[in-house]
């Protein structure tokens, strides 16, 4: 009788471990294998909106970068009260009531922005930005899209909330007007 109890106990234990593995394995795999598109930590960031940033998020599209499928977010932005835009780190911000995600951006050339704002005396050549988002890194929901500037020397933050929102479902990410 005790042999049967021990076998039954071992079977329950093994089945329990297998079920636990089904829930934990995807999370561990994502954390270990996803390299591009992870959110970054931005300590002390306050999302108090200011009016000295001009920005637009143009599009979100799927892209394969270094063998990994991610969403590429493209747009442009500049801070209006500083002639040297290289003084800032720029983060793409997705915020909801429950969650807030920061993604690092990389600048790229946008000559169309400079042509669209001829009255601006700032060099807007590199005002374009790219950011990458890995699908599993965000929970499903509706997120306001914003841009956060951090001054590299003072650490001061400047935030701008765009007129776009991100709608994330289990299988897809879409951008809509707010």
Structural tokens at position 85: 């835009």
Residue 62 shares a structural domain with residue 139: yes
Residue 27 shares a structural domain with residue 81: no
Looking at the structure of the chain, the number of domains it has is 2
| Residue 27 banded pLDDT, cuts 50, 70, 90 | low
- Is 60 exceeded by the pLDDT of residue 1? no
Residue 59 shares a structural domain with residue 131: yes
Q: Classify strands 68-79 and 88-95 as parallel, antiparallel or unpaired.
A: unpaired
Residue 122 shares a structural domain with residue 65: yes
* Domain with 100 in it: 53-177
DSSP per-residue string spanning 26-57? HHHHHHHH--SS-----TT----B-SSEEEEE
Neighbours of 166 (CB within 10 A): 24
CA 130 to chain centre: 11
Residue 115 shares a structural domain with residue 76: yes
Residue 66 shares a structural domain with residue 29: no
Q: Which among 15-19, 46-50, 84-88, 147-151 has the top mean pLDDT?
A: 147-151
Distance, in Å, from the CA atom of 147 to the CA atom of 102, rounded to the nearest integer, reads 9
Q: What is the CATH number of the domain that holds 58?
A: 2.60.40
Is residue 166 in some structural domain?
yes
pLDDT tens digit sequence for 85-140: 889 999 999 999 999 999 999 999 999 998 999 999 998 989 999 999 987 888 99
Residue 8 shares a structural domain with residue 92: no
- Is 70 exceeded by the pLDDT of residue 32? no
* Confidence (pTM): 0.81
Residue 18 shares a structural domain with residue 93: no
What's the pLDDT score for residue 175? 92
Is residue 41 in some structural domain?
no
Average pLDDT (136-164) is 93
Average pLDDT (25-31) is 67
Residue 25 shares a structural domain with residue 86: no
99 to 60, 95, 139, 141, 143: CA distances (angstroms)? 20, 6, 8, 9, 8
What's the pLDDT score for residue 30? 62
Is residue 39 in some structural domain?
no
Higher pLDDT, 30 or 155: 155
Distance, in Å, from the CA atom of 106 to the CA atom of 54, rounded to the nearest integer, reads 17
Alpha-carbon dihedral sign for residues 8, 9, 13, 19: positive
Residue 29 shares a structural domain with residue 107: no
- Is 70 exceeded by the pLDDT of residue 39? yes
Residue 20 shares a structural domain with residue 62: no
Distance, in Å, from the CA atom of 160 to the CA atom of 148, rounded to the nearest integer, reads 7
Residue 23 shares a structural domain with residue 101: no
Closest CA to 103 of 146, 64, 65: 146
| Residue 178 banded pLDDT, cuts 50, 70, 90 | confident
Is residue 47 in some structural domain?
no
Mean pLDDT of the chain: 88
């Amino acid at each position: 009788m005790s042999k049967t109890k021990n076998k039954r106990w071992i079977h329950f234990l093994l089945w329990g471990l297998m079920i636990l593995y089904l829930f934990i394995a995807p999370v561990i795999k994502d954390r270990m294998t996803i390299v591009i598109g992870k959110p970054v930590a931005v300590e002390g960031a306050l999302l108090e909106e200011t009016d000295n940033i001009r920005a637009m998020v143009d599009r979100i599209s799927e892209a394969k970068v270094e063998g990994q499928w991610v969403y590429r977010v493209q747009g442009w932005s500049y801070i209006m009260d500083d002639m040297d835009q290289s003084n800032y780190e720029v983060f793409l911000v997705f915020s909801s009531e429950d969650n807030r995600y920061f993604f690092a951006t990389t600048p790229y050339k946008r000559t169309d922005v400079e042509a669209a704002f001829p009255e601006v005396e700032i060099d807007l050549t590199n005002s374009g930005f790219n950011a990458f988002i890995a699908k599993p890194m965000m929970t499903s929901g509706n997120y306001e899209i914003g841009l956060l500037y951090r001054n590299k020397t003072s650490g001061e933050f400047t935030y701008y909330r765009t007129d776009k929102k991100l709608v994330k479902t289990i299988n897809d990410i879409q951008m809509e007007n707010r």
